[in-house]
Amino acid sequence: MGDTKTQNIGTVYLIGAGPGDPELITVRALRLLREADAVVYDNLIGLELVVSLPSHVERHYVGKRAGKHALPQDQINELLVRLAREGKTVARLKGGDPFIFGRGGEEARTLHANNIPFEVVPGITAGIAAPAYAGIPCTDREAASFVTFATGHKAGDKDLSSVDWDWMAGGHKGTLVIYMGVGELEHIVSTLIGKGMSPDTPSAMIERGTFPSQRSITAPLSGLPAKAKEFAIKAPAITIIGEVAALQPDMDWFMNMPLLGKRVMVLRPADQAEDMYASLRRLGAEVLTYPTIATDEVIDTSAWDAFGKITGDNRWLVFTSENGVRYFARQYLQRHADIRSLAHFRIAAIGAGTSRALADYHLTPDFVPLKATVASLAMEMTAELDLEGASVVRVRGNLADQTIEDALVASGATVLPQNVYRTYHPQWPEGFAGKLFEHPPEIIMFTSGSTAKGLVEMLTDDEVSSLTGNALLASIGPSTSDIIRSLGMTVAIEATTHSVPGLIDELVRYVTANPEDHS
């Protein structure tokens, strides 16, 4: 079956997203995901894969909601058929692999029965990935020559479980990997030992496999249930039984990263946060992707017409955000095609982040204030520059205030406000809010005052209090800190270099110096 639509019927792609780490998705799966018209996703999908989708993509959450059962499988099947019959390309995004305890086979049969074209994109299953991240190989030349995957769901109910535990107990020189067995662990272990498996068999459990917050325990088989209770192991978790579990001390490759296991909530717009996500993950953090602001383009034709008529030797472009740089450059190059035509303008930038955004277009600011605030930029420009008769283009979004405009006009400049984007509060995809409060952040990163205001707008007062009262709040700079405090929250960390890399560096310094905080 090909990638093209047949008779106005869309193709459904049954995609395995891997077990949690968003970077474990395959190249083909990621391409298809970004090309889809609609995405149908489960609870265990890495949030970054969904939140970073283009805004026009439909999002359909079919995972387990807090306090509610998952959407029944027959309704998921009906949804896939309906979306395809509407002519949409559908990405059915499933945790792990679609055909390893993912019910992908049922969905494929339904699609076939309804003459819906479909393709299967395999994914890395948790039964392989979680042990690998914990330093346990599923097979080993000396310890295990085969591996068996089994579901522990309803293991204690012979009418509902189809697993032959008697047969499993007789396996030698192999590895048994059990999915979904946390609630049935005691029954599974007692059954295996009762049917002849040695109580001394090495075993392990891995919670939240491949996430930076992954936890693992090892014990002889007979002691595994007690140790799981001691360490409060919760679903989702994988159980590994076999001699390979004893190899972990030699193969545990997790490094002593400074943010290892820390849950860090990032409020930055998803389309600007990819580098931030990657930097935090490299430091060991589990990144919670919850943008509280988003931007889109605004084209002010009359302002561009006025821009084209600016003359004189004293011309300035003033940028106070990375978004301003990005949208201005896009619109300018659509009109002029050659960045060198800006040579008659000098450039002012509010700080390091905006300066880096300019560098992407091979532009270097002529003026940067000592403090990365709008007030400092206005004060220092008017104090240090001759602006009498200057023509200043103030690149801005819809939320910018008049501080700079008023100061420059008072110094004798003519100011052209150039609106190139708007900022708004997005809707989180369905299921995100529930996951946030199931596993709340230990650290919240505020990259602008707008992200703080957005958090307050998108949650109730009680939710904000619960979320921020139990987390370290990290601010990119003094202006952002002032807004956070004005909203009744306490700033624990403030970057001395007012940029995303500066904020991350400050966070690492703080966590390293205060390991007991939120550990």
- Known catalytic residues are 42, 64, 180
Decide: 314 and 391 in contact? Cβ < 8 Å.
yes
- The token duo for 386 is 């001759």
Decide: 358 and 339 in contact? Cβ < 8 Å.
no
Q: Which amino acid is at 52?
A: S
User: Residue written as tokens 């049935």?
Assistant: 184
User: Residue written as tokens 């390979």?
Assistant: 244
**Distance in angstroms (rounded) separating the CA atoms of residues 332 and 322:** 15
Q: Helix and strand tally (H, E) in the chain? A: 20, 20
Q: What's the half-sphere exposure (Cβ side, CA atoms, 13 Å) at 137?
A: 11
CA 17 and chain centroid, separation? 13
The secondary element (H helix, E strand) that includes residue 275 is helix 274-282
DSSP 139-164: -BTTTBSEEEEEE-TTTT-TTT----
**Distance in angstroms (rounded) separating the CA atoms of residues 404 and 375:** 7
**Distance in angstroms (rounded) separating the CA atoms of residues 515 and 511:** 5
DSSP-based three-state secondary structure for 207: strand
- The token duo for 366 is 């002529």
- DSSP-assigned letter for residue 244: G
CA 338 and chain centroid, separation? 35
- DSSP-assigned letter for residue 247: G
DSSP-based three-state secondary structure for 302: helix
Sheet architecture: strand order including 263-266: 286-289, 263-266, 443-446, 472-475, 493-494
Q: What is the largest CA-CA distance in the chain?
A: 92
CA angle at 426 for the pair 422 and 427, rounded to the nearest 5°: 160
- The phi and psi torsions of 208 (rounded to 5 degrees) equal 50, 55
Structure-derived torsion over alpha carbons of residues 97, 103, 106, 110, reported in degrees to the nearest 10: -70
Cis status, amide bond into 236, omega within 30 of 0: yes
